Structure 1
Amino acid sequence: MRVIPLLLTAFVSLTNQAISQSKFAGKQPVLGVRSVQLLEQDGLKFKDLNRNGQLDKYEDWRLSAQERSRDLLTKMSLEQKVGFMLISTTRMKNDQSFGAAQSKEPITSDFNEEDLVASQNMFTRKPLPTPIMNAAGTTKAVTHYHLRHFILRANVSARTTAEWANKLQMLCESDGLGIPAIVASNPRNHITGAAAIGTSVGKTVFSAWPGELGLSAMRDLTLVREFADIARQEWAAVGLRKGYMYMADLATEPRWQRIEGTFGEDAQWTGQMMTEIVYGFQGKTLGPASVAVTTKHFPGGGAGLGGQDPHFEWGKKEVFPGGKFANNLIPFKAAIKAGTSAIMPYYSLPADTKYEPIAYAYNRAVIHDLLRTELGFTGIINSDTGPIEMMPWGAENLSIQERYKRTLEAGVNLYSGTADPANLLATVKSGMVDVKLIDDSVLRLLMEKFNLGLFENPYVDEDAAERLVGNAQFQARADLAHRKSIVLLRNEAQTLPLKPKTKVYFEAYAVKAGGAATAANSYTINDGKYPITFVATPDEADVIMIWLKPSAKSLFASDGSPIYLSLSKNSIDVAYINSLTAKKPTIVAINYSNPWVIDEIYQKDASSRIKGVLATFGTTPDALLDVVTGKFSPTGKMPFTTPLSEAAVQKQKEDVPGYEEGAGYALFNYKEGLTYKGGTTSLSASKP
Structure 2
Amino acid sequence: MKVEIQNAAPLQGNSTLRKGMKHAGLALFVASIMLAGMDTPVQAQNSRSKATRQPVLGHRSAKILKVGALEFKDLNKNGKLDKYEDWRLPNDVRANDLVSKMSVEEKVGFMLISTTRLQGDWSFDENPRKDVIGSGFNEVDIVRKINMFTHKPLDYPMIYAAGTTKGVTQFHLRHFIIRANTTNKIIAEWSNNLQALCESNGLGIPAIVASNPRNHITKDASIGLSVGKTGFSTWPGELGLAAMRDVKLVSEFADIARQEWAAVGIRKGYMYMADLATEPRWQRIEGTFGEDADLASEMIKAVTLGFQGQKLGAGSVAVTTKHFPGGGPVVDGQDPHFDWGKNQHYPGGMLEFHLKPFKAAIDAGTSAIMPYYSIPLDTKYEKVAFAYNKGVLQDLLRDQLGFKGIINSDTGPIYMMPWGAEHLSLTERYKKTMEAGINLYSGSADPTKLLETVKSGMVDMKLVDNSVHRLLLEKFELGLFENPYVDVAYAEKIVGSKAFQDKADLAYRKSIVLLRNESSALPLKKKTKVYFESYFQKKGTPSPSNVYTSTNHNYDIEFVNTPEEADQIVLWITPGSKTLFDSDGSALHLSLSKNAVDVDYVNKLTAKKPTILVMNYTNPWVIDEIYDDKNKKNIKGVVATFGTSTDALLDVLTGKFNPSGKMPFTTPISEEAVLKQRSDVPGYLEGPDYPLFKFDEGLRF
Both proteins in one fold, TM over 0.5: yes
Q: Give the structure 1 partner of residue 31 of structure 2.
A: 16
Q: Could you tell me how far apart the structure 2 residues matched to 1:251 and 1:126 are?
A: 29
Q: Give the structure 1 partner of residue 260 of structure 2.
A: 234
Q: Which amino acid aligns with 1:393?
A: W
Q: 1:45 aligns with which of 71, 74, 92?
A: 71
Q: Could you tell me how far apart the structure 2 residues matched to 1:156 and 1:239 are?
A: 14
| Superposed counterparts of 1:212-251, under 5 Å | 212-251=238-277
| Superposed counterparts of 1:421-432, under 5 Å | 421-432=447-458
Q: Give the structure 2 partner of residue 576 of structure 1.
A: 601
Contact 1:504/1:534 (<8 A) preserved: yes
- Stretch of structure 1 that moved more, 91-100 or 200-209: 91-100
Q: CA deviation at 1:128?
A: 1.8
- 1:633-683 per-residue CA deviation (whole Å, 9 max, x = no partner) reads 00000000000000000110000000000011000000000011xxxxxxx
Q: Could you tell me how far apart the structure 2 residues matched to 1:121 and 1:426 are?
A: 22
1:565 paired with 2:590, answer: yes
Q: Give the structure 2 partner of residue 654 of structure 1.
A: 679
| Superposed counterparts of 1:389-538, under 5 Å | 389-512=415-538, 517-518=542-543, 520-538=545-563
Contact 1:18/1:289 (<8 A) preserved: no
Q: Give the structure 1 partner of residue 7 of structure 2.
A: 5
| Superposed counterparts of 1:299-448, under 5 Å | 299-448=325-474
Q: Could you tell me how far apart the structure 1 residues matched to 2:697 and 2:27 are?
A: 43
Contact 1:263/1:273 (<8 A) preserved: yes
- Stretch of structure 1 that moved more, 596-605 or 613-622: 596-605
Q: CA deviation at 1:102?
A: 4.7
1:269 paired with 2:295, answer: yes
Q: Which amino acid aligns with 2:27?
A: S
- 1:337-383 per-residue CA deviation (whole Å, 9 max, x = no partner) reads 00000000000010111111100000000001110111000000000
Q: Give the structure 1 partner of residue 142 of structure 2.
A: 116
SS at match of 2:383: coil
1:618 paired with 2:632, answer: no
SS at match of 2:516: strand
Q: Give the structure 2 partner of residue 177 of structure 1.
A: 203
Q: Could you tell me how far apart the structure 1 residues matched to 2:696 and 2:431 are?
A: 45
Q: CA deviation at 1:528?
A: 3.5
Q: Could you tell me how far apart the structure 2 residues matched to 1:526 and 1:211 are?
A: 29
Q: Could you tell me how far apart the structure 1 residues matched to 2:551 and 2:75 are?
A: 60
1:285 paired with 2:301, answer: no
Q: 2:158 aligns with which of 132, 155, 163?
A: 132
Q: CA deviation at 1:105?
A: 2.3
Q: Give the structure 2 partner of residue 78 of structure 1.
A: 104
Q: CA deviation at 1:255?
A: 0.2
Q: Which amino acid aligns with 1:112?
A: N
Q: CA deviation at 1:604?
A: 6.4
Q: Could you tell me how far apart the structure 2 residues matched to 1:169 and 1:66 are?
A: 23
Q: Which amino acid aligns with 1:315?
A: G
Q: Which amino acid aligns with 2:71?
A: K
Please tell me the root mean square deviation across aligned C-alpha atoms, in Å. Answer: 1.2
- Stretch of structure 1 that moved more, 12-21 or 397-406: 12-21
Contact 1:124/1:556 (<8 A) preserved: no
Q: Give the structure 1 partner of residue 133 of structure 2.
A: 107
Q: CA deviation at 1:130?
A: 1.8
SS at match of 2:272: coil
Q: Could you tell me how far apart the structure 1 residues matched to 2:603 and 2:119 are?
A: 49
Q: Could you tell me how far apart the structure 2 residues matched to 1:122 and 1:460 are?
A: 34
Q: Which amino acid aligns with 2:689?
A: G
Structure 1 residues 588 and 498: alpha-carbon distance in aligned structure 2, compared to 1, 3 A threshold: same
Q: Could you tell me how far apart the structure 2 residues matched to 1:265 and 1:16 are?
A: 33
SS at match of 2:76: coil
Q: Which amino acid aligns with 1:23?
A: A
Contact 2:150/2:339 (<8 A) preserved: no
SS at match of 2:241: helix
Q: Give the structure 1 partner of residue 48 of structure 2.
A: none
Contact 2:255/2:307 (<8 A) preserved: yes
Contact 1:604/1:667 (<8 A) preserved: no
Q: Give the structure 2 partner of residue 208 of structure 1.
A: 234
- 1:510-551 per-residue CA deviation (whole Å, 9 max, x = no partner) reads 003x76651620011141410110000000000000000002
1:596 paired with 2:621, answer: yes
| Superposed counterparts of 1:665-684, under 5 Å | 665-676=690-701
Q: Which amino acid aligns with 1:343?
A: I
Structure 1 residues 607 and 308: alpha-carbon distance in aligned structure 2, compared to 1, 3 A threshold: closer
Q: Give the structure 2 partner of residue 684 of structure 1.
A: none
1:552 paired with 2:573, answer: no
Q: Could you tell me how far apart the structure 2 residues matched to 1:159 and 1:572 are?
A: 40
- 1:39-85 per-residue CA deviation (whole Å, 9 max, x = no partner) reads 01021000000011110000000111111000000000000000000
Q: Could you tell me how far apart the structure 2 residues matched to 1:435 and 1:548 are?
A: 56
Q: Give the structure 2 partner of residue 35 of structure 1.
A: 61
- 1:602-629 per-residue CA deviation (whole Å, 9 max, x = no partner) reads 0269861000000000111111000000
Contact 1:217/1:636 (<8 A) preserved: yes
Q: Give the structure 1 partner of residue 279 of structure 2.
A: 253
Q: Could you tell me how far apart the structure 1 residues matched to 2:680 and 2:247 are?
A: 25
Contact 2:84/2:98 (<8 A) preserved: yes
TM-score, normalised with respect to structure 1: 0.97
Q: Which amino acid aligns with 2:319?
A: V
Percent of matched pairs sharing the same residue: 65
Aligned length: 675
Q: CA deviation at 1:129?
A: 2.3
Structure 1 residues 524 and 398: alpha-carbon distance in aligned structure 2, compared to 1, 3 A threshold: same
Structure 1 residues 49 and 551: alpha-carbon distance in aligned structure 2, compared to 1, 3 A threshold: same
TM-score, normalised with respect to structure 2: 0.95
Q: Could you tell me how far apart the structure 1 residues matched to 2:664 and 2:64 are?
A: 53
Q: Could you tell me how far apart the structure 2 residues matched to 1:374 and 1:591 are?
A: 39
Q: Could you tell me how far apart the structure 1 residues matched to 2:415 and 2:220 are?
A: 25
SS at match of 1:40: strand
- 1:454-478 per-residue CA deviation (whole Å, 9 max, x = no partner) reads 0000000001101111000000000
Q: Could you tell me how far apart the structure 2 residues matched to 1:607 and 1:465 are?
A: 50
Q: Could you tell me how far apart the structure 2 residues matched to 1:77 and 1:368 are?
A: 27
SS at match of 1:189: coil
Structure 1 residues 519 and 103: alpha-carbon distance in aligned structure 2, compared to 1, 3 A threshold: closer
- 1:391-436 per-residue CA deviation (whole Å, 9 max, x = no partner) reads 0000000000000000000000000010000000000111110000
Q: CA deviation at 1:491?
A: 0.2
SS at match of 2:61: coil
Q: Could you tell me how far apart the structure 1 residues matched to 2:386 and 2:636 are?
A: 47
Q: Could you tell me how far apart the structure 1 residues matched to 2:279 and 2:459 are?
A: 38
Structure 1 residue runs without a partner (length 5+): 677-688
Q: Give the structure 2 partner of residue 165 of structure 1.
A: 191
Q: Could you tell me how far apart the structure 2 residues matched to 1:641 and 1:231 are?
A: 29
Q: Give the structure 1 partner of residue 656 of structure 2.
A: 631
- 1:94-148 per-residue CA deviation (whole Å, 9 max, x = no partner) reads 1013213453320110100111101112233332222111100000000000000
Structure 1 residues 607 and 185: alpha-carbon distance in aligned structure 2, compared to 1, 3 A threshold: closer
Contact 2:366/2:405 (<8 A) preserved: yes
SS at match of 2:429: helix
Q: Could you tell me how far apart the structure 1 residues matched to 2:544 and 2:680 are?
A: 40
Q: Could you tell me how far apart the structure 1 residues matched to 2:293 and 2:630 are?
A: 30
